[in-house]
Chain A
Amino acid sequence: MLFRSLCALLLLACATFSVAADHAGGIDQVDKHFIIGGEPVFQQAVAPWIVALVYNSDAELVQRQFCGGSVIADRWVLTAAHCLFDRRGDLLQLSDLNVATNAADLGASNVPELLITNMIVHPDYVHNAANPHSDIALLELATSSGVEPITLSTKSSDKLVGLQATIMGWGAVDNDDPSQPKFPIQLHSVDVPVVSLGVCNAPVSYNGALYANQLCAGLEEGGRDSCVGDSGGPMIVNYEGQVQQVGIVSFGFGCALPNFYGVYTDIPYFIGWINQYVYVGEPEFEPELLAARTPTPTTTTYTDETVTAMPQSNSDVASMNWLLFALLGIGVIRRRSTW
């Protein structure tokens, strides 16, 4: 009870400070848009290539949607690797999920659901790692998606810093209470500026935890961001006159919080890997090598594919603890089992 009271006081103090800071900056109130801060997308034609990953059950579509994705070729969908793992870290079965196309309105009848024949997870992805980088996966569909694929960016993302990116998804529009996030039926989108990795790795933000194959986007003051349920969905930019996908919604501390930008998988970094399965164009830069702390991969097999899985090293565990403390430090660590 004391703890709750302290938390309440701390939150109140933070909220007061935040609003006061915004007033000082000339902003009347905290701008709290989500996909958080975005707007509904009523026409599928705006983004024909966006798809929803849905569980295969008899519940309503909006209840079954759990991630997003994008069609990058007739029978190939790009998404986040972590979308394909359950809470325990086990890979989902092919029969567990479908891909819903033309699903801008999850409440519409006859939203097409396509079967998946193959799931390919990037070999460097480590589920439950402190920083789950290389968060990228491909889904091969059993049949043609019949939708126009999106173009993937093949250029270095360094040039994107400062540009407005658009994030799309069916994720929470309000995550103030993580036990009861508010999810929309309609596809939403939000515009956020791409932020340099330097800013995103600043001590007040992710404090050096992010890798070169990750992108950040958002506002320093927060208020606009992707959120729960948007994972796997696309980050797109209009660059050199062409709409291109540059990122995949990966993770973030909270949603739309000040200094904690959304973290996205940097697609150009993975063009070579994607080309192993479906050709999407030649990379126009030499991807920077990842930091040396990346653990050595070991090979594991599932279904009809061979994937490589990374062992969770001690350094990863240590950095997970570090990250947790760094991110949760301001009063968010909760006493265990206060019931």
Chain B
Amino acid sequence: MVNKFVMLSCAVLMAGCASTSSQTISELDGQTVMANARMGEAYDTALTNAANHYRAEPECESRKVSLHKQRKAFAYDICAFTPTRMQYAGAPLSEVVYHFIDRSVVRVDMRAEGSTDLLDKIRSDIDHFYARRDAQTRQLRQGSYEWVVGDEVTGVREGTGANAGNIHVRLLDRTLSTDAPWLTVE
């Protein structure tokens, strides 16, 4: 009986640890997972997962955009979640935003409340994550870092101006730099 209780307690504890909020980034089938989403994931899947995880409904906008030199119009959807009482890397998570083109995830943004300490913590975590994936790392400027692996670009930066007091983490599809450069600019 005692053993069962101990095992159950451990299971609960491990489950809690597995979903620890300090986990900033993860990997599934060779793809980076951020905010429960992967690049290329379908609109419905990503939003269903996010709604369940963040226990919130998204606010979405849709419009048509142009890509590269094509004269075909592409569907662009942007959906934002404002989680309450959720944490990211131990800090209050204020916003999660998904960007879709053709109903597939092309960019994910997370914003957490914090400053340099939080930036360093997340950066260290992501550095550790990418150490085994042979990522190209670079500092874009003071307080802004980027990791590139295959067609994925992960970035973390400290908010400035109106966004001061926030750390912004994002994952995006690298092909956007050709197809939709406006979407790679914050």
Partners in one complex: yes
Summed over the interface, the residue pairs from A and B with CB atoms below 8 Å come to a total of 106
A87-B67, A180-B63 as given contacts; A65 in contact with B140, CB under 8 Å:
no
Cα A169 to Cα B75 with chains together (Å): 17
Using an 8 Å CB-CB cutoff, how does the interface string of A246-257 with B read, 1 for contact, 0 for none? 000111111100
Give the chain B neighbours of A262 by CB distance below 8 A.
71
Q: Are A253 and B69 in contact (CB under 8 A)?
A: yes
Q: How far is the CA of A67 from the CA of B144 in the complex (A)?
A: 39
Contact A83 B72 (CB under 8 A): yes
List A contacts of B9 (CB < 8 A): none
Q: Which of chain A's residues have a CB closer than 8 A to the CB of B62?
A: 59, 63
Picked from B74, B157, B181, the residue with its CB within 8 Å of the CB of A334 is B181
Do the beta carbons of A228 and B184 come within 8 Å of each other?
A: no
Least distance between A116 CB and chain B CB atoms (Å): 16
Which chain A residues border B180 with CB–CB below 8 Å? 178-179
Is B182 in contact with chain A by the CB < 8 A criterion?
yes
A231 to B31, CA, bound (A): 33
The DSSP consensus for interface residues of chain A is: loop
Give CA–CA (A297, B153) in the complex, Å. Answer: 34
How many chain-B residues does the 8 Å CB contact rule pick out? 35
Q: How far is the CA of A250 from the CA of B180 in the complex (A)?
A: 19
Within B130-157, the residues touching A (CB, 8 Å) are: 140, 144, 146, 153, 155, 157
Could you say which interface size class chain A belongs to? 35 or more
A175 at the interface (CB under 8 A from B): yes
In the complex, B70 has a CB within 8 A of chain A? yes
Task: Evaluate whether A227 and B74 lie within 8 angstroms (CB atoms) in the complex, with A337-B184, A339-B186 already known.
Answer: no
* Residues on the B chain within 8 Å of A229, using CB: 64, 71-73
Question: In the complex, what's the smallest C-beta–C-beta distance from A305 to chain B, in angstroms?
Answer: 21
In the complex, chain A residues whose CB is within 8 Å of the CB of B144? 339
- CA A177 to CA B170, docked complex, whole Å: 23
Chain A 280-303 interface 0/1 with B at a Cβ cutoff of 8 Å (1 = within): 000000000000000000000000
In the complex, A82 Cα to B71 Cα: how many Å?
9
14 residue pairs A–B, Cβ–Cβ below 8 Å: A63-B62, A66-B64, A66-B75, A83-B72, A178-B65, A181-B64, A227-B71, A228-B70, A230-B71, A250-B71, A251-B69, A252-B71, A337-B184, A338-B140
Additional A-B contacts beyond A59-B62, A334-B181 (6; CB < 8 A): A67-B73, A83-B72, A177-B182, A179-B183, A231-B71, A251-B71
